[in-house]
Amino acid sequence: MAQRINYMQQSPEFFKKMLEFSTAEQQSAVEEKILHLVHIRASQMNGCGFCLDMHIKQAKIHGEGELRLYHISIWRESTLFSPRERAALAWTEVLTNLPEHGVPDELYNRVREQYSEKELSDLTFSVMSINAWNRINIAFKNVPGSADVAFGLTKAGLS
């Protein structure tokens, strides 16, 4: 697979703003570990190899367990995720593939049991962010692993 265009060079102003938006996640009220799960699950759902590769490596660098990484796609059946993590994964899925009639009240209420209003707002922005990154990286066929050195992802020890 060859990259189609380099969107970072072609639209540097937009790329800079997207980076700023993503960097703001570091101030999120939601734990970093959960944000990694969100990024990985949305990337799996969207089929974004570049983002999936990058976020798995980031999660591994930040101490995420390998088995949990393997179980993200089967989180409903897995016993490895807390109720709070399950709520984040459910929220990620519903916002990544919006149902025809919006987010069901039942799901919203279940997620609200785990997250404050601020946390849920921050979580929603994180889901928005990863979905935007997925779409641009899929559109322009960014090659998985191609930014490992630039992003310091070689530390993950995955090849």
Q: Which structural domains are found in the chain, ordered by start? A: 28-144 (1.20.1290.10)
User: Is the confidence at residue 133, as pLDDT, over 90?
Assistant: yes
Region 133-151: mean pLDDT is 91
Quote the pLDDT of residue 56: 97
Residues 33, 36, 37, 40, Cα dihedral to 10°: -160
Q: What are the pLDDT digits (tens) for 75-92?
A: 999 999 999 999 999 999
Predicted local distance difference test score (pLDDT) of residue 1: 74
Contact 4/141 with Cβ under 8 angstroms?
yes
For the entire predicted model, the pTM comes to 0.93
Give 152 or 110, the one with higher predicted confidence.
110
Lowest mean pLDDT among 41-45, 102-106, 143-147: 143-147
Residue 127 near residue 51 (C-beta atoms within 8 A): no
| CA atoms of 118 and 39, how far apart (whole Å) | 19
Distance CA 58, CA 153 (A): 7
Average pLDDT over residues 138-158: 89
Which tops the pLDDT comparison, 30 or 154?
Answer: 30
On average, the pLDDT of the chain sits at: 95
Confidence of residue 109 (pLDDT cuts 50, 70, 90): very high
Contact between residue 28 and residue 35 where contact means Cβ atoms under 8 Å apart: yes
